[in-house]
Amino acid sequence: MGGHMKPQAEPMRPEGVKAMIAIGSGKGGVGKSTVSSNLAVALARAGKRVGLLDADIHGPSQPRMFGVTKRPASPDGKRIEPLHAHGVTLMSVGAMLPEGKAVIWRGPMLMGALQQMLMQVNWGELDVLLIDLPPGTGDVQLTLGQKAPLTGAIVVSTPQDVALIDAQKALDAFGTLKVPLLGLIENMAVFTCPHCGKDSHIFGHGGVVAEAERLGVPLLAQLPIDLDTRLAGDAGTPVALGEGPMAEAYAGLAERLIR
Ligand code: ADP
């Protein structure tokens, strides 16, 4: 056959960004955004230049988790200046919308917004850009998986069966898109009673470990149900900023990813 192969459509590769890691989950409410914000902070504390793109179009929560209320500026109407908080370069569709406004994106608009957030934002030089995905396996995953040169994906799940079953679908989707799976994170793994010190496995036990083994990928972290994590997230100061066991757990997670 003669002729030249046409290059694929311009991939979503922001200049100056060395690695892109997508963070997904099967369903909502498992702590994907909490883990993303804390991992970003922990990587920044470890000396990495980190960006976080909140691509959870339907429920963007990173502005709240980072305590940012400012809106991103676009002085020339073309390039967008990201926000900066806690050492992390931040961009979120939530930062571009009035709080509490629901977004109903149609496919092409969604693609446009994603393209814009990746390619028109002045991310600068980054060692890693984390992408907080919407839950499940929708258009965002598909587009990013096909067009963005993702270094890999991490899937967050609770031990609860239903979350795990959904997580397996998300894992299958990354596999189909040939996005390397860097590992699983078990969130809300255990609750240790602050009064009696007894452990309770509120959302079940063992499922995420078994799934990581089955897939032959690392279980990157097992994070407990933790009041400080929830309070810090709501206050806009991720728990990984502080000292103590959760900050250490996130530092350990960051270390595992850097290695
Ligand atoms: P998702 O992004 O998966 O929808 P979020 O990160 O928004 O989930 O978390 C849902 C809720 O659970 C938030 O209120 C958050 O503060 C809380 N949360 C997440 N992880 C933990 C944890 N390990 N311990 C306690 N609360 C948590």
133 in a domain, yes or no? yes
Question: Is 206 marked as binding a ligand?
Answer: no
The number of the ligand 1 atom at minimal distance from the alpha carbon of 188 is 23
Q: With both helix axes pointing from N to C terminus, report the angle between 32-45 and 227-235 in degrees, rounded to the nearest 10.
A: 80
Domain that holds residue 210: 20-258
The number of the ligand 1 atom at minimal distance from the alpha carbon of 223 is 23
Q: What is the pLDDT of residues 49-103, one digit of tens each?
A: 999 999 987 778 898 999 998 888 888 988 999 999 999 999 987 666 666 666 7
3 in a domain, yes or no? no
Using CA atoms, how far apart are residues 134 and 24, in angstroms rounded to an integer? Answer: 7
Given this model, what pLDDT does residue 108 score? 78
The number of the ligand 1 atom at minimal distance from the alpha carbon of 187 is 23
**Residue 55 structure tokens:** 């691509």
47 in a domain, yes or no? yes
25 in a domain, yes or no? yes
Given this model, what pLDDT does residue 8 score? 52
Given this model, what pLDDT does residue 20 score? 97
pTM of the model: 0.93
Name the residue at shortest CA distance from atom 9 of ligand 1: 31
6 in a domain, yes or no? no
Given this model, what pLDDT does residue 10 score? 59
7 in a domain, yes or no? no
215 in a domain, yes or no? yes
The number of the ligand 1 atom at minimal distance from the alpha carbon of 59 is 4
Residues of the chain with pLDDT under 70: 1-10, 94-102
Whether 57 contacts 92, CB under 8 Å: no
For residue 131, the SS3 value is strand
Name the residue at shortest CA distance from atom 6 of ligand 1: 31
Measured CA angle at 20 (ends 31, 252), to 5 deg:
55
Global ipTM: 0.99
Question: Is 31 marked as binding a ligand?
Answer: yes
Question: Is 70 marked as binding a ligand?
Answer: no
Maximal C-alpha separation, the chain: 75
Burial degree of 82 (CB within 10 A; 0-12, 13-18, 19+)? buried
Please tell me the total count of domains within the chain.
1
Instruction: Say how many Å lie between the CA of residue 163 and the centre of ligand 1.
Output: 13
Instruction: Say how many Å lie between the CA of residue 230 and the centre of ligand 1.
Output: 6
Whether 151 contacts 75, CB under 8 Å: no
List ligand 1's pocket residues with C-beta within 6 A: 25, 28-34, 61, 187-188, 223, 225-226, 229-230, 233
Q: Domain containing 155 — which CATH number?
A: 3.40.50.300
176 in a domain, yes or no? yes
Given this model, what pLDDT does residue 21 score? 97
> What is the dihedral angle through the alpha carbons of 52, 57, 60, 62, rounded to the nearest 10 degrees?
0
